Amino acid sequence: MYTGIFDTHAHYADSSFDADRDALLSALPSEGVDCVMLAGCSTADSRACIALAEQYPHVWCAAGIHPEQVDGLQPDWCEQIRTMAAHEKVLAIGEIGLDYHYEGYDRDLEHTVLEQQLLLARELDLPVILHIRDAMGDALEILRRMRPKGVVHCFSGSAETARELTALGLYIGIGGVLTYRNARKVVQAVEVIPEDRLVFETDCPYLAPVPYRGQRCDSRMIAAVAERAAEIRHTDPQRLIRIAAENGRRLFGI
């Protein structure tokens, strides 16, 4: 069993954990998972993440508006995030970003909400957790201009993009996608990500790695991601887990 795992992106407030959430979260430290970062997707979800973080000493969280949640925001949504960010267990603004994957998105609104949250993070001196899906070109333009500190989560892009993101000072979150058969680009990216910019994540309950693909994901499955990353980088999985956890703690100030 590996030890010292830091899952830097999880969604344990999701309803798929309703039946066994407490048992699972309580057991994680005895199964090698020392720290979990929950990502908020809306004001309500962020509040739920805070409530969970209050219950478990090894759980921390972020508060933010996911790009798929920008429609119908309350007028005071940013003030709500600001208030939540004052909580001692809220260590980041997120997850925030751009998502052009599905039809019907409002690109201008996504940009506006992202930039407001980047400004809030700068004001509060907090890192951001970035969700970028089918929108890397536009996201890079904003990141070059605004220069936030933080992490690009669920990275599946190219080595070239990874180099540019890390040159901007950002961390790269690697999860279950790395283990998939068609993951050629992210395999090449993992080869070149600087050691001090790599963090591991699950995005659970989504994106379970091979050999668990199709199952509900949880933080213990980072072991499979670390093994694949270690194979690619010709090193030891436990060593990478330790380094990635140190990076995560530095990123979030734990």
Q: What is the pLDDT of residue 17?
A: 98
Q: Looking at the whole model, is its pTM more than 0.95?
A: yes
DSSP string spanning 157-197? Answer: --HHHHHHHHHTT-EEEE-GGGGSTT-HHHHHHHHHS-GGG
What is the CATH classification number for the domain harbouring 216? 3.20.20.140
Radius of gyration of the chain (CA): 17
Q: What is the pLDDT of residue 113?
A: 98
Could you give the angle at the alpha carbon of 10 between the alpha carbons of 4 and 14, nearest 5°? Answer: 140
Residues in the chain with pLDDT < 70?
Answer: none
The tens digit of pLDDT for each residue in 191-232 reads 999 999 999 999 999 999 999 999 999 999 999 999 999 999
Q: What is the pLDDT of residue 4?
A: 98
Q: What is the pLDDT of residue 110?
A: 98
- Residue 12's domain comprises 5-252
Nearest to 177 by CA among 204, 199, 210: 210
Residue whose tokens read 């499955």: 221
Q: What is the pLDDT of residue 173?
A: 98
Say how many domains are in the chain: 1
* Partners of 204 in beta bridges: 10
Convert 160-192 to b/e letters by CB count within 10 Å (16 or more is b).
ebbebbbebebbbbbbbbbbbeebebbbebbee
